[in-house]
């Protein structure tokens, strides 16, 4: 899932998702390239 999809799924802003990633316990994104960052959908749905 891209960050926009994560934000919509969790009903929060993209900025809040970035803040939550910095906190412990929130799933970390995977960097597929220098410009492509995704989240594991299964981890987000938990």
pTM of the model: 0.83
What's the confidence (pLDDT) of residue 18? 94
Asked if residue 43 has pLDDT above 90, the reply is yes
CA distance 33 to 7: 21
Asked if residue 25 has pLDDT above 90, the reply is no
Which residue range(s) make up the domain with 41?
Answer: 3-45
How many independent structural domains does the chain possess? Answer: 1
CA distance 23 to 36: 21
């Amino acid at each position: 899932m891209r960050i926009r999809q994560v934000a919509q799924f969790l009903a929060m802003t993209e900025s809040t998702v970035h803040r939550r990633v910095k906190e412990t316990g929130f799933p970390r994104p995977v960097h597929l390239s220098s410009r492509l960052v995704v989240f594991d959908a299964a981890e987000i749905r938990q």
